[in-house]
Amino acid sequence: MKLLVRLIHESKPIIAQVVKETGVLINVDRARSDAHEGEEALVDVPDESCILVSDRMRSLGAEVRILEEGIRHDEEECVDCGACISICPKRVFSFDNDWKLHVETKRCILCGRCIISCPHAALSLSY
Amino acid sequence: MEKSIDEINRRIRDGSARVVTADEMPDIVSELGEEGALHEVDVVTTGTFGAMCSSGAFLNFGHAEPPIKMERLWLNDVEAYGGIAAVDTYIGATNKSVTRMESYGGAHVIEDFISGKAIELRAQSSGSDCYPRRSITTEVRLEDLNQAIMVNPRNAYQRYDAAVNTSEDTLYTYMGTLLPHSGNVTFSGAGTLNPICNDPNLRLIGSGVPILLGGAQGMVIGEGTQHSSAGNFATLMTTADMNDMNTDFLRAAYMYRYGPTLYLGVGIPLPVLDIETVRRTAVRDEDIMVSIKDYGVPSRSRPVLGQVSYAELKSGTIELDNEEIKTSSLSSFRRAKMVANTLKRWIEDGQMTLCLPTRYLDPSKQAKPMRETRKVVLVQEIMQRKVVTIKEDQEITEAAKKLLRGETNHLPVLNEQGRLTGVVTTFDIAKAVARPERKIKVQDVMTRNVITTLADEPIDIAAQKMEHHRISALPVVDAQNQCIAILHASDLGKLFKPGGGRP
């Protein structure tokens, strides 16, 4: 399960602390530090530890949002061109045998690169 | 053996014509041989579905009361051409809306019309005795128009060069997102299904020939603009009635930071008249080659980095300089196949018969570049040759003084050898002062990844660099990376003053 964790500026090493306390292995898919919006990390945790990890992070002062799904694919708008395929760092997109776009949302790290690259506005983030 | 067009049309009418799509033809020819395929197949249908920017439509709105001659007009705030009489206009696919997001353009107006949506028409006029009305605002739907005739100056490119980007920055082009350091390759075109690739000598495709355009039955008008058949870049001018189109085969699109464009399905049925037709329609993806061009170089003559076939491009990866690079198509092969299949069904059902061109296209034409009579303004004409610089190992207080004295916001930083290694801005100094921990030397606070220009670079390219990187100055360097001048965004203003580079 993916969690979007927003940390307050100058905060403690919350992710490290939660890993240490809970023993849950947390995979940081991507992290971003922005002067205005603070620090944000997209992390991947095992489904069964999702509540445990998010509760503990919240109690340490982080904002946590549980992301149910990866990139959202609008099949009505999509024309199966494939512009998204080569720019995705995680090989989320591929063609099936009939040249129809296949989307493996589980691999998505929500980097958002494909959203602007889709000529038909068929890709969006759900959060 | 040869077949006549009348014989083929007779079979279409009595329902006995054998119609196949162009991608099926290579295997049929391998299996039956050329004579066998000629005997067996009557029509080969082709198709392509991709971005066709040079498209648009003539519209007639009918007369208002009192009447107006529309001199400037907007459809959902996208300007359409007002230089033709009274209530006619031409809406081009790539024009951007003046008020909505730049992702809405003429292509979206066309798609909205076809989807049955109401479009706001706004028009102005200077008025005349015969057309007294000065302005009008109304809402119109496709069904309200007298005519909505799509006429596309350049469609169905025979093939299109693939794109790569060797520069250090991500580029957003009409060939889609191009990742830095040759991070991906993009391409466009249906390869084996492409209409002209199945008739490269233009024996069957010409004026008057029936086609599928945007889901409607239309026809080829003649050669398209920039038609360059000698270099295997033939194009077609096409037309069809918008009332017969549908969004399966026509979609507005927006290429990020490029603008709106129109995705169109175009397909042409080819009558199998002789062995030559059989041979040509047996073309495979492997046989159709394109160049890989470097969009990292902002010039008309982009460097060619290699040759590649559509088969390689469609495989998902290609090899360039011994490295595997992921590929992306911008056109849809799935929809191209839908175009060819729809044509096939129309012909099998007797809804479309074929004809030979009433006028043939020139198969040996070569497109010319633009004749330019005024020289391009170069950076050296407006750059500031007096440039204040600083050394890497100087203290930031020294940099602050220089910035104040030089009345500039950018200090190019030089190393021992006098080569450019960075830039210090007032922002960098402010940051260093706000966090005084240990950063005291210029080299600790400078920006190292410097975007530079050259004295002989066209000014438009330097301006695009500043806009792309959101910066306001570019150090001008020579071949040894010595900083010889600086170009400020404010220098661009000189171009518009009397005695400047531009009138």
Higher pLDDT, B39 or B440: B39
Residues B327 and B176 sit within 8 Å (Cβ to Cβ): no
* Residue B80 β-bridge partners: B73
Higher pLDDT, B25 or A6: B25
Q: Do B334 and A119 touch (CB under 8 A)?
A: no
Residues B359 and B206 sit within 8 Å (Cβ to Cβ): yes
Position B438 scores a pLDDT of 62
Phi-psi category of residue B86: left, alpha or beta, with phi > 0 → left and psi -120 to 50 → alpha: left
Question: Which of A79, A117, A121 has the CB atom closest to B263's CB atom?
Answer: A79
Given a cut of 90, whether residue B494 has pLDDT beyond it is no
Give the chain A residue nearest B176 (alpha carbons): A117
Cα separation, B447 vs B293, whole angstroms: 31
Given a cut of 90, whether residue B437 has pLDDT beyond it is no
Cα separation, B4 vs B42, whole angstroms: 10
Q: What is the pLDDT of residues B297-311, one digit of tens each?
A: 888 789 999 999 999
Question: Which of B49, B186, B253 has the CB atom closest to A86's CB atom?
Answer: B186
Provide the 3-class DSSP secondary structure of residue B191. Answer: helix
> Among A2-6, B147-151, B428-432, which stretch is predicted with the lowest mean pLDDT?
B428-432
List strand residue ranges (DSSP E) for B8-106, in order. Answer: 19-21, 43-45, 48-51, 56-60, 72-75, 78-80, 88-92
Residues B243 and B148 sit within 8 Å (Cβ to Cβ): yes
For the record, the structure tokens of B146 come out as 């007298």
Question: Which of B255, B327, B333 has the CB atom closest to A119's CB atom?
Answer: B255
Per-domain residue ranges for chain A? Answer: 2-67, 71-127
Residue B1: other Cβ atoms inside 10 A: 7
Crossing angle of the two packed helices B426-434 and B396-406, in degrees rounded to 10:
140
Residues B428 and B449 sit within 8 Å (Cβ to Cβ): no
How far from B423 is each of B397, B413, B429, B479, CA to CA, in Å? 15, 5, 11, 18
What is the average per-residue pLDDT within B472-495? 88
**Strands B420-425 and B410-414, how do they pair?**
antiparallel
Q: Do B332 and A99 touch (CB under 8 A)?
A: yes
Q: What is the CA radius of gyration of chain B?
A: 28
C-alpha distance from A54 to closest chain B C-alpha (Å)? 33
Residues B389 and B414 sit within 8 Å (Cβ to Cβ): yes
Task: For residue B147, give every residue at least 6 positions away whose Cβ sits within 8 Å of its Cβ, in sequence order, or none.
Answer: B58, B59, B60
Start-to-end Cα distance in chain B: 66
What is the average per-residue pLDDT within B214-220? 98
For an interface test with B, give the residue of A75, A76, A79, A120 to mutate (most B CBs within 10 A). A79
What is the residue type of B294? D
Burial class of residue B83 in the structure, from the number of CB atoms within 10 Å of its CB (0-12 exposed, 13-18 middle, 19+ buried): exposed
Q: Do B177 and A116 touch (CB under 8 A)?
A: yes
Provide the 3-class DSSP secondary structure of residue B347. Answer: helix
Residue B180: other Cβ atoms inside 10 A: 14
Interface A-B, measured as beta-carbon pairs within 8 A, has a size of 74
Cα separation, B388 vs B413, whole angstroms: 9
Tell me the chain A residues in contact with residue B51 when contact means C-beta distances shorter than 8 Å: 119
What is the residue type of B419? R
Confidence category of residue B140, pLDDT binned at 50, 70, 90: very high
Position B500 scores a pLDDT of 47
Q: Do B184 and A86 touch (CB under 8 A)?
A: yes
Asked if the A2-67 domain carries CATH number 3.30.70.260, the reply is: yes
Identify the structural domains of chain B with CATH numbers, from first to last: 5-52+151-360 (no CATH), 62-145 (no CATH), 379-496 (3.10.580.10)
Please name the residue ranges forming H helices in B373-414. Answer: 396-406
> Among B164-178, B316-330, B463-477, which stretch is predicted with the lowest mean pLDDT?
B463-477
Position B267 scores a pLDDT of 98
For an interface test with B, give the residue of A87, A95, A111, A113 to mutate (most B CBs within 10 A). A87
Q: What is the pLDDT of residues B375-421, one digit of tens each?
A: 888 999 889 988 888 998 888 888 888 888 877 788 999 988 889 99
Cα separation, A83 vs A117, whole angstroms: 7
Residues B232 and B245 sit within 8 Å (Cβ to Cβ): no
Given a cut of 60, whether residue B502 has pLDDT beyond it is no
Active-site hit among B53, B130, B355, B483: B130
Q: Percent of chain B scored above 90 by pLDDT?
A: 74
Cα separation, B97 vs B108, whole angstroms: 10
User: Residues in chain A whose beta carbon is closer than 8 A to a beta carbon of chain B?
Assistant: 79-87, 94-95, 98-100, 113, 116-117, 119-121
Provide the 3-class DSSP secondary structure of residue B287. Answer: helix
Q: Do domains A2-67 and A71-127 have the same CATH topology?
A: yes
- Report the candidate in B470, B472, B473, B466 with the shortest Cα–Cα distance to residue B487: B473
Higher pLDDT, B102 or B472: B472
Position A61 scores a pLDDT of 84
Q: Do B177 and A80 touch (CB under 8 A)?
A: no
Residues B145-166 as b/e (b if ≥16 CB within 10 A, e otherwise) read beebbbebbbbbbbbbbbbbbb
Question: Which of A80, A100, A121 has the CB atom closest to B254's CB atom?
Answer: A121
What is the average per-residue pLDDT within B365-373? 90
Position B406 scores a pLDDT of 72
Q: Do A86 and B326 touch (CB under 8 A)?
A: yes
For the record, the structure tokens of A83 come out as 């512009």
Q: Do A117 and B256 touch (CB under 8 A)?
A: yes
Give the chain A residue nearest B313 (alpha carbons): A86
Tell me the chain A residues in contact with residue B333 when contact means C-beta distances shorter than 8 Å: 80, 99
For residue B40, give the DSSP letter: H
The DSSP H or E segment spanning B484 is strand B483-488
* pLDDT tens over chain A, length 127 residues: 888 888 875 667 888 888 998 989 898 888 877 666 678 888 888 888 888 888 888 888 888 888 777 789 999 999 999 999 999 999 999 999 999 999 998 888 888 899 999 999 999 986 5
Q: Do B334 and A98 touch (CB under 8 A)?
A: yes
CATH domain A71-127 topology: Alpha-Beta Plaits (3.30.70)
Cα separation, B330 vs A40, whole angstroms: 32
Cα separation, B136 vs B125, whole angstroms: 9
Tell me the chain A residues in contact with residue B184 when contact means C-beta distances shorter than 8 Å: 86-87
Q: What is the pLDDT of residues B317-364, one digit of tens each?
A: 999 989 999 999 999 999 999 999 999 999 999 999 999 999 999 999
What is the average per-residue pLDDT within B85-114? 94
**Strands B453-454 and B162-164, how do they pair?**
unpaired
Residue B197 is among the residues annotated as catalytic for this protein: no
Confidence category of residue B249, pLDDT binned at 50, 70, 90: very high
Residues B326 and B185 sit within 8 Å (Cβ to Cβ): yes
Q: Do A113 and B251 touch (CB under 8 A)?
A: no
C-alpha distance from A2 to closest chain B C-alpha (Å)? 26
Cα separation, B225 vs B484, whole angstroms: 43
pTM of the predicted model, to two decimals?
A: 0.83
Given a cut of 50, whether residue B501 has pLDDT beyond it is no
Position A11 scores a pLDDT of 63
Position A127 scores a pLDDT of 53
Confidence category of residue B497, pLDDT binned at 50, 70, 90: low
What is the average per-residue pLDDT within B224-251? 96
Residues A11 and A58 sit within 8 Å (Cβ to Cβ): no
User: Residues in chain B whose beta carbon is closer than 8 A to a beta carbon of chain A?
Assistant: 49-51, 103, 172, 176-177, 179, 183-186, 251, 253-256, 261, 263, 316, 325-335, 337
Cα separation, A19 vs A7, whole angstroms: 16
Q: Do A83 and B51 touch (CB under 8 A)?
A: no
Position B436 scores a pLDDT of 63
